[in-house]
Structure formats: C-alpha cells, structure tokens
A and B are shown apart, each in its own frame.
Chain A
Amino acid sequence: MLIRRPSDIRPSEITDKDLYLTRRRFLRGAAATAGVLIAGGLDSRLAFARGERLADVNKTAYGKGETPNSYEDVTTYNNFYEFGTGKSDPSRNAGDFNPSPWSVRVSGEAEVTGEFTLEDILAPHALEERIYRLRCVEAWSMVIPWVGFPLGDLLKRFRPLSSARYVEFRTLYDPKRMPGQRWPVLDWPYVEGLRIDEAVHPLTLMAVGVYGEVLPNQNGAPMRLVVPWKYGFKSIKSIDKIIFRESPPKSSWMKAAPNEYGFYANVNPEVDHPRWSQKRERRIGAGVFDSKVPTKKFNGYGEQVASLYSGMDLARHF
C-alpha cells in the first residue's frame, strides 16, 4: 500500500486562504447565511421535504451520454439495511423517517471539530448535478443523477491535520426511527471510511439530492456519500458523524465478513467476491432478455482514480 511520509508543512499552510477560518467564524458565517435564507425565504434548499426541488443546481458534464435509470428504479431498489434488508424495504419503511433537524458531529484529527447543523454544513456549497454510474457489490448497476458537492470542499473546512490519513463516516444510529437497526444484521451504526486522498478526490461527492430533488429517505437523506469507482456499500447514507483518523477505520461490512469485504472495495472485475463473480453486472432497467454487461475496473473511472492505487496489489487490498 501507499505510505506517505508525514508532511513537514503545517496543516494550516496547505489550507486554502479563503478557508482560513476559526471555528467561531465558521459558525458565525453559517449562522448569518442561514439567517439570510430564513429572512428572505427564497432558498428552499434547506427545507427538507420529500420530492422538493432543489434550487440553483449547476449542470455538469459528468455522465454525459449516460442514460439515467428511472426515478422509480432509483428510489425503490435500494440497499439500506437500516430500513430492512430487502430491496424494496427502504422505500416502504423509510417514509416516516424525518431527517430534520439534522446535525453532524465532526471529531478527530482536525482543527475544526464539534457539532454542526445540516444548514451549517451545506451553506457555503454550490450544488451541482453529476450523473454517475453506481455498481453494487451484488453485481447490479444503475446510472443516477445525483445532486451534491465535492466532499473535499466540505472536509477542507474542518482543516484536517496532517495526521488525518483517513476519514470515517457513520450513519445515524436510532433504532426507533431506523427499524432495521433493531436486529444486529450488521454492527450498528453503519461505518464506512476513505483514505484522505480518496475522500478529497474531485469525483467523490457528498449528495443531498437525486433527480434535482431533495434526497428521498430511502436514498440516504439528508446527506450521503457517492464514491462512484467503489462498490455501492462504500457510499454511506444518512451521515451524522465524520471522524478524521490516523489509521483506517473498520467498516461494518469488514466486520461482518472480513474475507468478503475489504477497506478499499474498488470496483474490480479481476477480483471476484468469494461467493460470486464480479466480471459482469446486470444493468437495472435493461430488458429481461438483455445480457449482463462486462464490469469495468474502477467502474470505468480508472482514468481519474487509478493513480491513487499505483503500486498496490488490488487483489490483496480488495
């Protein structure tokens, strides 16, 4: 694996100048933004109701030429064990889940830590639409028009220390509101993690919407990760904790079956799941008689991300 020498540069020196904010100023700024929004009542971005359209979404070239799956496919065929392990369970069971108010606890190896409201988190970020392919570890795939912003832009605001080599994310743990958590099918709360260079890679998205609308509960409202070159389970949903870490966090799936799910979980047709082939995938939305399509390494994003793993044995670091 790639081991970086600790940087001699102080973390504050590599932070963008305009992000040179103390925590106090960070909060004050966010509060002011929120105040303006409430007073003006113009921006509906922060009022999280189902199916509400997101305002001011910039279109991007990501996924040009791809045909997205239908809204119905995207919102009724989900793996979100917090609401049940069947594919249609999340859309059936997540209706009453209210992701508002929402706050995110940031801790670990960063200068700016603490509890932030969702409004604080989102305020400075311009939203963009990106059409990404999603490849599930179960060998099916979809194309989804996400709305969000680069995760790196958010992480930078917390001014990670040079010791922050990894970022851990956690899903809300609340068995009352997430009925799937009442059974220990996984070690709750759901934990996922990225190496810091993966986390700040321009492709890595923090999504708050899909199809131009506020993220439905079953898709991970109010805020979820989208890491398009990794298997879907890496794209953790309903995030309420971000922890900067020195060592790699152990994800829920790694704990559940360490021989089947690794930390990296990069889409890779050359490395099969111990119980099934990863060479091909079923495109959701294709006809019943359409055959599976070959899976591409890094889900076809190799040009952008392969360099992150140069020199690594991806069969070992699966």
Chain B
Amino acid sequence: MDLLTPGIIRRVWKPLVFGACLVPAAELALGAFGIAGFGLGANPVETLLHGLGKWGLNFLLITLSVTPLSWIVRAAWPIRFRRMLGLFSFAYLTMHFLVYLILDQGLAWSFILEDIGERPYITVGMAALALMLPLALTSTRRAMRRLKRRWTALHKLIYPIAILAVWHFWWQVKQDWREPLIYALVLALLLGSRLIRRQRLRHRAEQSRAHRGPAIGLRRGQTRTLI
C-alpha cells in the first residue's frame, strides 16, 4: 500500500509533521509558565531568544534539505512538506525577533536602532529575516500562480538568507564556534549538493546535445558557440 499518496500526505503525514514542528515551541511555552517541571533556567529571556533562534535555523536547514532528499528518494513527495517547513522556520525566527524586541530590548528603540546599525551580527540577522518576509508572503498557491517563473527566482533568496542566518549565529558566539561550525558545514553540504547537481545536469545536457548535433570538430563536453 502506498503511504505517500497526495491524499494520505495531506490527511495523515502533514498533521503529524505540523505537530512535531510545534514541539520545540511547546517546550518553551511550558517552561515559560513552569508547567510539568519545565523551566527556562536562570536567564529565561536568553533561553527563549536562543531556543527560538536555533529552532528557526534548524527548520531553515531542514527546509533546504527537502530538495536533495527528493533527489535521493527519486520522488516528489518530500516537496509537499517544503512550504510548511519553510513557514515554521519563518514563524520561529519571527518569534526570535519579537523576543529580542520586546523581552530582550524592552522596546527601547534607541538601543534597538543602535544595535541594528552598529552590531554587524544583528544587522545580518535582521537582513535575513527581512528577506524572508517576501518569501512567506508569496508562499500561497495563488502567489505562486501569479508570479509564475518569477516565483522560482524570488524563492532562490532562501540561499543567501540561510548564509546570513548561519553567519548571524556564528558572529554572536563568544568563543566556542563548534556549534555554528556544524551549522555552516551542513549548509555548505546542502548548497554544495545543488551546485554539483546543476553542474552534472548541465554536463549531461551538453553531452546529449553533442551527440545530437553535427559534432564535427567538437569534442565531448565542449560548448558550442553560435557565431
């Protein structure tokens, strides 16, 4: 029995994944209210800030691994989860930003503006979130239809966004860069796999063209130019 038909994905898998994506937020919420033995530790604002930021980044990398996963499994079903995962990343990062604004900075705008202008890691983080906003707004089917090819081009923004986000993480750690390094390596793997695939597809296309065309004087892999 095929458990990955569009209908089962919509009715069974998506609600399950949706619930799983809420777990980190639920844990923080339980901690914030001190329910069921959960807590946020001695510095609750920091726990919220870092917890939400890290999960936003986790979901961002998970979103970016959807496409490579579909190559591996040679199926399109992973793509059906991509929008939801991307929106969860945006939701966590928005909460991260709100915790920064409201709880960390206490809406003290002079300090916030100073932070944005003078602290590069905050500038970088804000830029990443700002770039995410149009992607979240155009995540509907309607926007997709209306923007057509431009939608794909616009959503390629996720690559620089991910780079900025990992950079933001790296830049704010005091000294121990082991954890941001892991994130950077995973991101490099995810972006690198796309480059390699593109290269390979291009190569293959050229090869088939070379076979088809009047390949006189044209070696394999050589690009044909129109004069």
Contact = CB atoms under 8 A, between A and B. Distances in A.
A62 interface: no
Nearest to B48: A288
- The secondary-structure label for the interface of chain B is helix
B119 interface: yes
B41 A275 contact: no
A88 interface: yes
B49 to A, nearest CB: 11
Given A183-B178, A291-B108, A276 B119 contact: yes
B97 interface: no
Interface string A213-256: 00000000000000000000000000000000000000000001
Contacts of B178: 183, 185
A69 B42 CA distance: 10
B45 A87 contact: no
A23 interface: no
Interface string B30-47: 001000000001111110
B55 interface: no
A85 B115 contact: no
Given A76-B42, A277-B114, A284-B43, A289 B172 contact: no
A65 B104 CA distance: 26
Contacts, number: 60
A138 B174 contact: yes
B43 A279 contact: no
Interface residues of B, number: 26
Interface in A134-185: 138, 140, 183, 185
A256 B173 CA distance: 13
A85 B174 CA distance: 10
B81 to A, nearest CB: 31
B120 interface: yes
Contacts of B111: 277, 279-280
Given A183-B178, A185-B175, A282-B45, A275 B32 contact: no
Given A276-B119, A277-B115, A88 B108 contact: no
Contacts of A138: 174
B176 interface: yes
Q: What are the 5 tightest A-B residue pairs by CB atom distance, in nearest-first order?
A: A291-B106, A77-B42, A85-B176, A73-B42, A185-B176
11 contacts: A76-B42, A77-B41, A81-B175, A140-B43, A256-B175, A257-B175, A275-B120, A275-B171, A282-B46, A284-B42, A292-B104
Interface of B: 32, 41-46, 48, 103-106, 108, 111, 114-115, 118-121, 171-172, 174-176, 178
Interface of A: 69, 72-73, 76-77, 81, 85, 87-88, 138, 140, 183, 185-186, 256-257, 272, 275-277, 279-280, 282, 284-285, 288-289, 291-292
